[in-house]
Structure 1
Amino acid sequence: MPVFASLPPQYIDTLLECPITNTASLLPHSGRMVLIDRITRYGDDFVEAGAQVSPNHILLLDDKLPYTAFIELMAQAVGAYAGIQARKNARSVRLGFLLGTRKLEIFAQSVPIGTHLLATAHMSIQDAGGMGVFDCELRWTDAPETSSETLPSDGILARASLNVYSPEHPAGTTDAV
């Protein structure tokens, strides 16, 4: 039986109060691959996840976070949404897969160290079999003064629809928390 199933509902609610800073507990990632560091808001069909580009960020290239990392940040927001839904229903966090993207738009080549990011994911479609589509957006909310003029003035760094799949029991896994 999953550990969360034995907790009183009010305790689970307390663990999921925003801001949630223990994002690793919501994702099937570990260590430095957990790129989001807080959940600022969530609901039945959306999540907002924050991240700061730190000097030890695993995906830095020439002291900047390249645009190639933007999809992973949006995908981790989707993963956090799934993790929150699992925890609310006393289930284990499941492994998920990014199958593809549609309508991908990228508005910046990179962001500098010290930039604060906000990834949002809104569920468009999700079925009982684990397939889903999420409309996502990545924005910068604060940046070092010397670089903010090089970033898009409306704050949008990227947007896309992410096609995802989270199987009930991927090969070699169990439902233990």
Structure 2
Amino acid sequence: MNVPLTCPITAVAPLLPHSGRMVLLDSITDYGEQHLTATATVGPDHILLQNNRLPCFLGMEIMAQGIGALTGCHARNAGRPVRLGFLLGTRKLDLFADSIPVHTRLLVKVRESVMDATGFGVFDCSLYWTDAPENEKHTLPADGLLAQASLNVYSPHQNNQDNQAV
């Protein structure tokens, strides 16, 4: 039997079907059956930067990786391999900033809303900033909320052994 992962989890890459610079999460600070909280940093070499800033709409990829990390935690705890998942789209996307400056620390929260037996799921997600360069804080929402969305995801079954999404 596998020993369940305990937080904080700083080795996030093994829980995602990504590698190298495409791993956008720094750590997982909390997770459970239907939720996960993680941190991320917008570094100067962040793969999604445009004009030295992260467009807020690309925060969807960070939120999607939160979903993938949750599924990866469950797979790892069950002794299964991490599976590939797909971000199908979003609904109810609300953006509260245009872009996010380099050196901003982020907090991502995901919560399962719907999961079906085919591998389709919907997750309610939010992205917050927790720290930013002093000269950039005025460009960010005072309450910290950068984006929230319901993300539609899909993870095809492999040998019909499990029914988890991304």
Q: Provide TM-score, normalisation by structure 2.
A: 0.92
Q: 2:74 matched to 1:91?
A: no
SS in 2 for 1:147: helix
2:17 to 28, 31, 36: 28
Picking from 105, 119, 137, the partner of 1:130 is 119
Q: CA deviation at 1:60?
A: 1.1
TM-score by length of 1: 0.86
- Calculate percent identity across the aligned residue pairs: 57
Residue deviations 1:2-40, cap 9 Å, x none?
Answer: xxxxxx43xx32xx2111111111100111001111101
Runs of 4+ in structure 1 over 4 Å off? none
Which runs of 5 or more residues in structure 2 are unaligned? 160-166
- Matched residue, 1:153: 142
Name stretches of at least 5 consecutive residues in structure 1 with no aligned partner: 1-7, 171-177
How far 1:87 sits from its partner (Å)? 0.9
The total of aligned residue pairs comes to: 159
Cα distance, 1:58 vs. partner?
0.9
Structure 1 counterpart of 2:151: 162
The alignment partner of 2:74 has SS state of helix
Give the equivalent residue in structure 1 for 2:110. 121
CA distance in 2, matches of 1:102, 1:22: 30
Q: What per-residue deviation string (whole Å, max 9, x for no partner) do you get for residues 113-172 of structure 1? A: 1100011100011122211110000000111111111100111100000111111139xx
The question of 1:74 aligning with 2:63 is answered yes
Q: CA RMSD in A?
A: 1.2
Measured against aligned partners, the alpha-carbon deviations of 1:87-108 in whole angstroms (never above 9, x if no partner) come to 1111110000111111000111
Larger radius of gyration: 1
Shift of residue 82, structure 1, vs aligned partner: 0.7
- Please state whether the residue corresponding to 1:72 is helix, strand or coil: helix
2:49 paired residue number: 60
